[in-house]
Structure 1
Amino acid sequence: MLTAAVAFALTAAGVAVAGLRAHRRRFRSATRWFAVALLPAGLYLSGLFPVARTIGGELADWATDLVFSPRIWTGLALLAVSAALLVTTRLVARRRAVGGAESGPAAAGAAPARSAVAGSRAAPAGLTNAGATAPAAAAPKAAAPKSGRAGKRDDGLGDEFDDIEEILRRRGI
């Protein structure tokens, strides 16, 4: 009976505070206070106060034992070791996934140097300047007319396949 009186007194006090907040035109705060004010009555009417009391008592007992019990400290140490092992294995798996992707092409041979801009030629190995352009001899080769190849296609897709072949040739594929 005392639990019911306390629960409803807390609810009434919370509703009063919510009413004051609403009167001051602070409706968001009033709504929050009203939501919190409904909790004690809801806990009592649903029968969860004994559960909350049991959980609170068990947490209090655990906290007191935490200070004095080596068994609890051992358990916490085991939990910490377990968490560290799980995190470590996750990090190792990520590094192997990243390292495996990089070691695959390196084992097959060095990839040709590629420019960041589509359609441009890579600078020769001797030039390290980022603004260096390709030698003049490479430019006419890239601009060679494709008129001779387009006539050889009988399937009607001549220009499209020629473009694809040109791109593959530039990439060294």
Structure 2
Amino acid sequence: MLAETICSAVSAAGLGVAAITAYRKRFLAATRIAAYSLVPLGLVMTGVVQWVSDIAFKPSVWIGFGLLAVAWLLFMTTRAVERRAGSTRKERRAARKAERGAAVAPAASSPSLTSGSGAAAPQAQAEPRKKQRETAPGDDFSDIEAILKKHGI
């Protein structure tokens, strides 16, 4: 009852301010103020104010909000512990699968990718890495020195 009276008074005051604004020839602003001032009256007439006041003054509703807050806090705590430990459900599931698959010898289950000469493969892999090291841009500063000399630095 009190909430409905307050909302009606706010609407009446807003419409008064809108009328004063319109008198000053600011019609766009007056229309906007009138629209805002009709919102509380509309909320009262639709029953939203009664619903909100019923929620706000019932202790069982506040106990329910408290339980929701506790549940959220428990969820966030478990997430923080999982992150700190560095494990998630997905990682634990993958670890369990790896433990089950560890019974089979890894060399026995993987196929050989070489053509029969096992010693030649590591040398072939080492050659491209050596070429990458030779052409690495981090070792050669001649370009930078030329730019600095060009600018007199």
TM-score by length of 1: 0.34
Which structure is richer in relative contact order (CA contacts within 8 A, separation 6 or more)? 2
Q: Which structure has more helix as a fraction of its residues? A: 2
TM-score by length of 2: 0.37
